[in-house]
């Protein structure tokens, strides 16, 4: 059985500069770091190639950074090494999004602190199924995953740490699951609440729009998918 958090070097599936497409930072230029590995098993996950950490798929940083299509290859790097890569890649964005895979499988305190000390704002995207280990100034976007096939559950520490809760929905039962999470005493009462339609489905989008109006929640579309950017 794999032990968490992974505390050695970070395993990186891809790193790229784009526009944040989701949630409260939508529209913000950002450097994305996508970490390898996720045991949660959402059936509709749009990054299934990040689930397995296959030691045979470790490649050089150069090979991974030039990949043209998503695959399960990854490279290993330290926090300081990632900061140096930002310079060699010539990235201009001042906001960093750490995603995955499930980034909270890793101890992210070294990476988030190195980036914040270097002047970046830092955000993580997480399912809330692991304790979140990040620098205090990190913005936490929690996209809670309830009853997925990996058998993981939402931890109270993640609900308490969330700056925004961005819930993927396709049916009414997903809204009810969110209501139950919001009713938990641990949940940060100041968290911004977003509904994000699963896979741009029309029915999911209609439900999200109607529910947002009814509850005074915010709508998060995966805007990068509508305009065909990464």
Ligand X SMILES: Nc1nc2[nH]cc(C(=O)O)c2c(=O)[nH]1
Ligand Y SMILES: C[S@@+](CC[C@H](N)C(=O)[O-])C[C@H]1O[C@@H](n2cnc3c(N)ncnc32)[C@H](O)[C@@H]1O
Contact with ligand Y (CB under 6 A): which of 168, 175, 205, 217? 168
Query: Minimal distance in Å, beta carbon 27 to ligand SF4?
Result: 22
> Which entry of ligand SF4, ligand Y, ligand X, none binds 41, CB below 5 to 8 A by partner kind?
ligand SF4
Compute how many other C-beta atoms are within 10 angstroms of the C-beta atom of residue 1: 3
Q: Which residues contact 124 (CB under 8 A, 6 or more apart)?
A: 97, 98, 99, 103, 104, 108, 112, 132, 134, 138, 139, 140, 141
CB closer to ligand X, 151 vs 226 = 226
Nearer to ligand X, 22 or 164 (CB): 22
Least distance in angstroms from the C-beta of 51 to ligand SF4? 7
Asked if residue 19 belongs to a known ligand binding site, the reply is yes
Q: Under 8 Å CB-to-CB from 172, ≥6 apart: which residues? A: 207
Minimum CB distance to ligand SF4, residue 129 (Å):
7
Residue 176 interacts, among ligand X, ligand SF4, ligand Y, none and using kind-specific CB cut-offs from 5 to 8 Å, with none
Whether residue 99 is annotated as binding a ligand: the answer is yes
CB of 187 to ligand SF4, least distance (A): 19
Helices (H), 41-133: 61-65, 79-89, 109-117
3-class SS at 160?
A: helix
Exposed e or buried b per residue across 176-206, where buried means at least 16 C-beta atoms within 10 angstroms of its C-beta: ebbeebbeeeebbeebbbbbbbbeeeeebbe
Least distance (Å) between residue 88 CB and ligand Y: 26
CA distances from 142 to 48, 58, 61, 99 (A): 19, 28, 29, 11
Residue 93 CB contacts under 8 Å (≥ 6 apart), including other chains = 17, 28, 29, 30, 31
**Structure tokens belonging to residue 60:** 């050089």
- Using the rule CB under 6 A, is 174 a contact of ligand Y? no
What residues make contact with ligand SF4 under the rule CB under 6 A? 38, 40-42, 45, 47, 100-102, 127, 145
Residue 145 labelled as part of a binding site: yes
**Choosing among ligand Y, ligand X, ligand SF4, none, which partner's interface includes residue 167 (Cβ < 5 to 8 Å by kind)?**
none
Interface residues with ligand X (CB under 6 A) are: 18-22, 99, 125, 224, 230
- Positions touching ligand Y (CB under 6 A) are 38, 44-47, 99-100, 102, 125-127, 143, 166, 168, 196, 198-199, 222
């Amino acid at each position: 059985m794999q032990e968490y958090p992974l505390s050695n070097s970070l395993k990186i599936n891809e790193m790229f500069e784009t526009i944040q497409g989701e949630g409260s930072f939508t529209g913000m230029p950002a450097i994305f770091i996508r970490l390898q590995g996720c045991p949660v098993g959402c059936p509709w996950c749009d990054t299934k190639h990040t689930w397995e950490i296959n030691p045979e798929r470790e490649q050089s940083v150069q090979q991974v950074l030039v990949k043209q299509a998503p695959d399960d290859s990854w490279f290993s790097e330290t926090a300081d090494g990632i900061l140096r890569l930002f310079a060699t890649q010539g990235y201009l964005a001042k906001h960093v999004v750490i995603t995955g895979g499930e980034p909270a499988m890793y101890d992210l305190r070294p990476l988030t602190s190195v980036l914040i000390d270097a002047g970046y704002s830092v955000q993580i995207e997480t399912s809330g199924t692991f304790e979140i280990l990040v620098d205090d100034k990190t913005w936490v976007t929690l996209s809670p995953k309830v009853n997925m096939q990996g058998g993981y559950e939402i931890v109270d520490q993640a609900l308490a740490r969330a700056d925004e809760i961005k819930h993927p929905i396709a049916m009414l039962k997903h809204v009810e699951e969110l209501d139950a999470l919001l009713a938990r005493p641990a949940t940060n009462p100041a968290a911004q609440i977003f509904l994000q339609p699963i896979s741009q489905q029309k029915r999911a989008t209609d439900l999200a729009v109607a529910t947002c109006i009814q509850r005074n929640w915010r709508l998060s579309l995966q805007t990068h998918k509508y305009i065909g950017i990464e």
